[in-house]
Amino acid sequence: MRQIRISEKSFRNLVLTVILITVSTSGAQTFRITPLRPVNRLLAEALLKVPLVEKGSFRKTELTEITKLDTTIHLDIRYATENNFLSAPLYHQARAFLQRPAAEALIRVSRALRVIGYGLLIHDAYRPWYITKVFWDATPPDLKKFVADPSKGSMHNRGCAVDLTLYDLKTGKPVVMPSLYDEMSDRAYPDYKGGTENERKMRDLLRTEMEKQGFSVYEFEWWHFNYKDWKFYTIQNIRFEEIK
């Protein structure tokens, strides 16, 4: 019998591919991992912790609900369902907030895209700090570059980061990108050369329009964008249901 040898990296990518093919929700594929510990325990522990108290002068938080500014922006808040990489609901409400300057910049992106037939579909925006801690504690060490270190906080915690994609205005369906949302592989990199030409075109279109309005893409995730003013806002740990 002939033996076939493959590299560790190739084997890891093969395992990821099997996961992507076999896991689906309502026909849509979802990237998932096995949490290091049960998510309900991690949530209970994270809620008892408090984020680092930052020193300095910060702007007053002004978390603004995005869909109230632009009803053409659609939501698919995965963390309010089991349809996410941890296979467990983490939010009690499916809502999306950003600090007002970031929200207004996103509205300008939405308007520009509508002219050429596309809308924005948000997966996540402001994220309470305790959720960031759950992500970190649940994720294996070799994948932690895809989640924020809670000791430093996330741009999401400041209300200055958004996870999103495009949808076709005619069909209402999300466009196909080179990777799935929250996929922890090199296919998620914003400069990944694989996938189809149209997938890369759509990914790059989103990036171009976001950068025009002061957002920058995260180096490991084509869907994650940070707003330029993030340093002016401190880490937040307030739940969606407590935001007025």
Task: Evaluate whether residue 211 is within a structural domain.
Answer: yes
3-class secondary structure, 166: strand
Query: What is the reported pLDDT for 49?
Result: 97
- In terms of phi and psi (left: phi > 0; alpha: psi -120 to 50; beta: otherwise), the region of 18 is alpha
Assigned domain for 190 exists: yes
Q: What angle do CA 148, 77, 100 make, to 5 degrees?
A: 75
Q: What pLDDT is recorded for position 86? A: 98
SS (H, E, C) 206-232: HHHHHHHCCEEEECCEEEEEEECCHHH
Quote the pLDDT of residue 23. Answer: 40
Is 214 within the bounds of a domain?
yes
Q: Give the C-alpha separation, 86 to 100, whole Å.
A: 30
Tell me if 3 is assigned to some domain.
no
pLDDT value at position 156? Answer: 98
Q: Is 32 part of a structural domain of the chain?
A: yes
**pLDDT tens across the length of the chain (244 residues):** 334 343 444 444 434 433 443 343 334 589 999 999 999 999 999 999 999 889 989 999 999 999 999 999 999 999 999 999 999 999 999 999 999 999 999 999 999 999 999 999 999 999 999 999 999 999 999 999 999 999 999 999 999 999 999 999 999 999 999 999 999 999 999 999 999 999 999 999 999 999 999 999 999 999 999 999 999 999 999 999 999 8
Q: Is residue 158 part of a domain?
A: yes
Q: How many domains does the chain have?
A: 1
The pLDDT of residue 2:
39
In a domain, 2, yes or no: no
CB 222 within 8 A of CB 195: no
CATH number of 46's domain: 3.30.1380.10
Q: Does residue 1 form part of some domain?
A: no
| Cross-strand partners of 25 | 28
Q: Which domain holds residue 156?
A: 8-242
